[in-house]
């Protein structure tokens, strides 16, 4: 049994979203894999964790929950952290001769897959670090950091972990995270007189308000459709119990420079390009699946008609907090942010998706940009976050949990994009080769995460193998789609 902290220490309430992730049908975990450039010195990592992460209030507390999900009775209670209980060193039996083999890659992949369906011990803080000290094709060793989703969202957890790292070139400096991805105006228009400027400003704000109001209304109604209607049944449709089965987590590296070249040519953002690549890759994957299953003349015709009628929706995770810098998040390890930024402060946007075969590969980017522009001029993501808080206050946590699970089960996949460090960093003295995040426990067959690190973008998919038996083929389709887009952009003379 855990030892409760000293008497009189304040107990923190579990937030509504935190209690949502503790419901019986929604036990979610965030898993972040680190590829390391050398074998792991467990003693150094242990000391580093004790001095940093283990001191954060969420990482040295256990949830004490009311069975009815009561907000007033569910608390985070401080307890003693026994760091040895949280560092797991499995015996992988993979011929540890210091050389990377295809089998060692598979061993690591299988172990990560097994973690996706392994529950945590709720009698101690809900996090652990798995040390996989065997070489793979990309790294000398792998560390997997697993955290229960109730502790915080991927943004806060990634930021906290990165606050524990330092630049490889300067051990005293925190990593550099690029700022917002904003489009720049190419010219400055002439300044009119004051009266014209005032009139123009009033009309512009009125127009912006009307656009925001309309887009928000459309988004709210669109999200509402997922409560009542399912997506078109396709090869990506899930069966009951998918959230309880192990997920296969695979990843692929693509060039961030290629993405930036497309971004520059199209006048859009990195996220717009990734959205286009996702649309293109999934279209290629689904077309191939249906072409293999239907080969006759009439069957091919029916197949094309069916593909054109497919209507899918995806959930795009959005951070609804003002994005803090890594330097500010370093205070989280001392618990000095007052709880105003830490936790699960995420909303969701719903994106429409159709299977298409665009002759111009860049049309997928144009479509992604058009959708993203509308979502940016909407409060739909904030609405989803606030609605959970409101429904919890009015009816208890079971109502928003039921509705949220219903939306996830009626949609096809989830997307999330994050920005990582721009230079090489060390994690407690261990050089990082790659960082790959994912989430498990969602009632969907496909979850896609993208994270940049240095000049590489990692695309990570977590799939239910009963539905998607060839996840590497899906990643290959993403890579091929990006390649075609890069080849299509005009070359500057």
Asked if 378 contacts 209 with a C-beta cutoff of 8 angstroms, the reply is: no
Asked if 346 contacts 318 with a C-beta cutoff of 8 angstroms, the reply is: yes
Specify the DSSP class assigned to residue 376: H
Count of positions (residues) in the chain: 493
| C-alpha dist (Å) from residue 474 to 138, 291, 469 | 20, 15, 10
Q: What are the residue ranges spanned by the domains of the chain? A: 12-167, 197-323+340-416+445-488
Average pLDDT over residues 472-481: 96
Average pLDDT over residues 138-162: 91
Q: Please choose, from the candidates 3, 21, 80, the residue with its C-alpha nearest in 3D space to the C-alpha of residue 400.
A: 21
Architecture of domain 12-167: 2-Layer Sandwich (3.30)
pLDDT of residue 290: 80
DSSP H or E segment with residue 367? helix 362-376
pLDDT of residue 403: 93
Give the least confident one: 15-24, 277-286, 398-407: 15-24
Position 201 confidence tier, pLDDT thresholds 50, 70, 90? confident
Residue with more model confidence, 301 or 154: 154
Give the least confident one: 58-72, 207-221, 267-281: 58-72
Whole-angstrom distance between the N-terminal and C-terminal Cα of the chain?
70
Q: With a cut of 60, say whether residue 158 has pLDDT above it.
A: yes
Q: With a cut of 90, say whether residue 254 has pLDDT above it.
A: yes
Catalytic residue among 22, 130, 148, 149: 149
Residue with more model confidence, 374 or 11: 374
Specify the DSSP class assigned to residue 489: S
d(CA 291, CA 274): 26
Any catalytic annotation for residue 22? no
Position 493 confidence tier, pLDDT thresholds 50, 70, 90? very low
Asked if 469 contacts 435 with a C-beta cutoff of 8 angstroms, the reply is: no
Tell me how crowded residue 432 is: count the other CB atoms within 10 A of its CB: 23
Q: With a cut of 50, say whether residue 339 has pLDDT above it.
A: no
Please classify residue 102 by burial: count the beta carbons closer than 10 Å to its beta carbon, then call 0-12 exposed, 13-18 middle and 19+ buried: exposed
d(CA 35, CA 431): 9
Average pLDDT over residues 332-355: 73
Specify the DSSP class assigned to residue 446: E
Asked if 90 contacts 77 with a C-beta cutoff of 8 angstroms, the reply is: no
Position 130 confidence tier, pLDDT thresholds 50, 70, 90? very high
Position 297 confidence tier, pLDDT thresholds 50, 70, 90? low
Chain position carrying tokens 């004790």? 50
DSSP H or E segment with residue 391? helix 380-395
**Overall CATH class of domain 197-323+340-416+445-488:** alpha beta
Specify the DSSP class assigned to residue 283: H
pLDDT of residue 223: 92
Which SS3 state, helix, strand or coil, does residue 169 take? Answer: coil
Position 243 confidence tier, pLDDT thresholds 50, 70, 90? confident
Chain position carrying tokens 């790959």? 436
Position 155 confidence tier, pLDDT thresholds 50, 70, 90? confident
pLDDT of residue 5: 46
pLDDT of residue 294: 58
pLDDT of residue 388: 93
Q: With a cut of 80, say whether residue 276 has pLDDT above it.
A: yes
Q: With a cut of 50, say whether residue 399 has pLDDT above it.
A: yes
Tell me how crowded residue 136 is: count the other CB atoms within 10 A of its CB: 21
pLDDT of residue 185: 44
Q: With a cut of 70, say whether residue 10 has pLDDT above it.
A: no
pLDDT of residue 341: 67
Q: Please choose, from the candidates 423, 434, 492, 435, the residue with its C-alpha nearest in 3D space to the C-alpha of residue 261.
A: 492
**Do 12-167 and 197-323+340-416+445-488 show the same overall fold?**
yes
d(CA 353, CA 364): 11
The percentage of the chain sitting over the pLDDT mark of 70, rounded to a whole number, equals 83
Q: With a cut of 80, say whether residue 73 has pLDDT above it.
A: no
Tell me how crowded residue 12 is: count the other CB atoms within 10 A of its CB: 16
Position 187 confidence tier, pLDDT thresholds 50, 70, 90? very low
pLDDT of residue 89: 95
Average pLDDT, the chain: 85
d(CA 46, CA 86): 9
Quote the pTM value.
0.88
pLDDT of residue 360: 94
pLDDT of residue 174: 80
Give the model confidence (pLDDT) of 426-436 as tens digits: 999 999 999 99
Average pLDDT over residues 139-161: 91
pLDDT of residue 234: 86
Average pLDDT over residues 389-408: 93
């Amino acid at each position: 049994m855990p030892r409760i902290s000293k008497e009189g220490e304040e107990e923190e309430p579990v937030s509504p979203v935190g209690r949502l992730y503790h419901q019986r049908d929604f036990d979610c975990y965030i898993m972040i894999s680190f590829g390391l450039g050398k074998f792991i010195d467990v003693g150094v990592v242990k000391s580093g964790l004790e001095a940093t992460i283990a001191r954060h209030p969420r990482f040295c507390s256990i949830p004490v929950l009311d069975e009815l999900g009561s907000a007033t009775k569910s608390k985070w209670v401080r307890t003693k952290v026994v760091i040895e209980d949280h560092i797991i060193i499995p015996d992988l039996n993979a011929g540890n001769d210091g050389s990377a083999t295809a089998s060692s890659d598979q061993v690591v992949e299988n172990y990560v897959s097994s973690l996706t369906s392994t529950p945590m011990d709720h009698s101690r803080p809900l996090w652990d670090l798995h040390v996989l000290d065997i070489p793979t094709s990309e790294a000398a060793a792998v560390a997997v950091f697993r955290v229960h989703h109730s502790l915080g969202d991927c943004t806060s957890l990634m930021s906290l972990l990165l606050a524990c790292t330092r630049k490889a070139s300067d051990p005293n400096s925190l990593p550099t995270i690029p700022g917002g991805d904003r489009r720049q105006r190419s010219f400055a228009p002439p300044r009119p007189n004051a009266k014209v400027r005032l009139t123009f400003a009033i009309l512009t704000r009125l127009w912006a308000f009307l656009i925001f109001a309309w887009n928000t209304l459309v988004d709210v109604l669109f999200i509402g459709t997922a409560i009542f209607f399912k997506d078109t049944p396709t090869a990506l449709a899930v069966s009951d119990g998918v959230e309880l089965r192990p997920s296969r987590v695979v990843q692929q590296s693509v060039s961030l420079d290629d993405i930036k070249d497309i971004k520059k040519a199209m006048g859009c953002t990195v996220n717009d390009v990734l959205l286009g690549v996702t649309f293109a890759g999934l279209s290629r994957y689904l077309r191939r699946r249906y072409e293999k299953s239907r080969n006759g003349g009439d069957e091919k015709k029916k197949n094309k008609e069916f593909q054109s009628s497919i209507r899918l929706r995806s959930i795009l995770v959005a951070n609804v907090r003002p994005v803090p810098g890594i330097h500010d998040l370093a205070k989280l390890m001392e618990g000095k942010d007052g709880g105003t930024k830490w936790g699960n402060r995420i909303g969701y946007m719903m994106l429409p998706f159709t299977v298409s075969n665009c002759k111009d590969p860049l049309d997928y980017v144009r479509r992604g940009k058009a959708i993203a522009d509308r979502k940016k001029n909407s409060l739909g993501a904030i609405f989803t976050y606030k609605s959970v808080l409101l429904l919890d206050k009015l009816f208890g946590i079971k109502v928003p949990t039921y509705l949220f699970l219903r939306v996830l089960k009626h949609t096809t996949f989830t997307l999330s994009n994050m920005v990582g460090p721009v230079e090489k960093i060390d994690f407690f003295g261990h050089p990082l080769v790659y960082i790959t995040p994912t989430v498990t426990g969602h009632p969907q067959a496909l979850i896609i995460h993208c994270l940049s690190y240095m000049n590489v973008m990692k695309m990570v998919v977590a799939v239910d193998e009963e539905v998607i038996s060839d996840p590497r083929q899906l990643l290959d389709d993403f890579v091929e789609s990006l390649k075609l887009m890069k080849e299509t952009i005009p070359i500057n003379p």
